[in-house]
Amino acid sequence: MNNTALKELILKMADDALIIGHRNSEWTGIGPVLEEDIAFSSMSQDKIGHAWALYNILNEHFGEKDADTTAFNREEKLFTCCHLVEYPIGEYDFSLVRHFLMDKAEYHRYDMLTNSSFMPLQNLAKKVKGEIKYHVMHAETWIEKLANGNEESKARVQSALNYAYPLALSLFEKGTDEVALISDNIFAGEEALQKAWEADIKTCVEKYGLKMPENIDATKFMGGRKGFHTEFLAPLLKEMQEVFAIDPSAEW
């Protein structure tokens, strides 16, 4: 088993979940309707819980630092999250479409991991997949509702899809030794994941009467997995890490 490749996989999954969890929590108190205020807050808690579980796997099975230290005491360049999760929440249409695109990918990722030969990931995947199923249902319900609303709501969802879809491709940036993960039956690989995701997204988009974005540059938003981030990550990390930085050894 290639421990380096496996740790890389777990860390990027955890970092994605941590950052999108904190991003979506920014809707708390300002959601467009009370139902969405509660929904985004709840899903944010789930994401941060997923990150915590993944960081704990790194700690318990590979001797990495504890979850709190890993989450709140690293420099920007040591994070491996993709660019999609780093962007500010923007308007509700962008956050909703990002949620739709990401949770579809996460659902397929965890579905694949239910067959992982690395048992800690397999066990976690079986639990997390059920939670993300409801995230996906939430996203689909609202995308469909807005796509079939008035002309403005449909146009805004389409515009958000055009903008967010290329960003979402950063989710599938390959690791340094993905072949080892595939050969060891740990994970089917980013290419297989992206193929399943694209087919799913295309089916939904056509069902809702929207159009798939065209002429996508798949390389434009890559680099996050290697520590090259957008201008938006550093300010978020500063805010996230503020309390922990006061006294990392404190017991809260």
pLDDT tens digits along 139-180? 999 999 999 999 999 999 999 999 999 999 999 999 888 999
pLDDT cut 70: percent of the chain above it: 99
Q: What is the pLDDT of residue 149?
A: 92
The mean pLDDT value of the chain amounts to: 94
The CB-based long-range contact list for 217-220 (8 Å cut-off, 24+ gap) reads 217/166, 218/166, 218/169, 220/166
Q: What is the pLDDT of residue 71?
A: 95
Q: What is the pLDDT of residue 213?
A: 95
Q: What is the pLDDT of residue 1?
A: 73
Structural domains in the chain plus CATH codes: 3-246 (1.20.1260.10)
Contact (CB, 8 A) for 210 and 157? yes
- pTM for the whole structure: 0.95
Q: How many helices (H) and strands (E) does the chain have?
A: 10, 0
Residue type, 91: E
Q: Which residue has the higher pLDDT, 2 or 45?
A: 45
Q: What is the pLDDT of residue 143?
A: 96
**DSSP element (H, E) containing 77:** none
Supply 244's token pair. 């922990």
Q: What is the pLDDT of residue 250?
A: 67
Q: What is the pLDDT of residue 252?
A: 56
Closest CA to 165 of 121, 227, 214, 233: 214
Q: What is the pLDDT of residue 78?
A: 97
Q: Taken in order 96, 98, 104, 110, is the CA torsion positive or negative? A: negative
Mean pLDDT of 99-121: 98
In whole angstroms, how far apart are CA 3 and each of 6, 61, 110, 126, 188? 5, 10, 19, 22, 16
Per residue in 187-207, pLDDT (tens digit) is 999 999 999 999 999 999 999
The pLDDT of residue 236 is above 70: yes
List CB contacts of 134: < 8 A, sequence separation 6 or more. Answer: none
pLDDT band for position 243 (50/70/90)?
A: confident
**Alpha-carbon gap, residue 100 to 94, rounded angstroms:** 10
Q: What is the pLDDT of residue 8?
A: 97
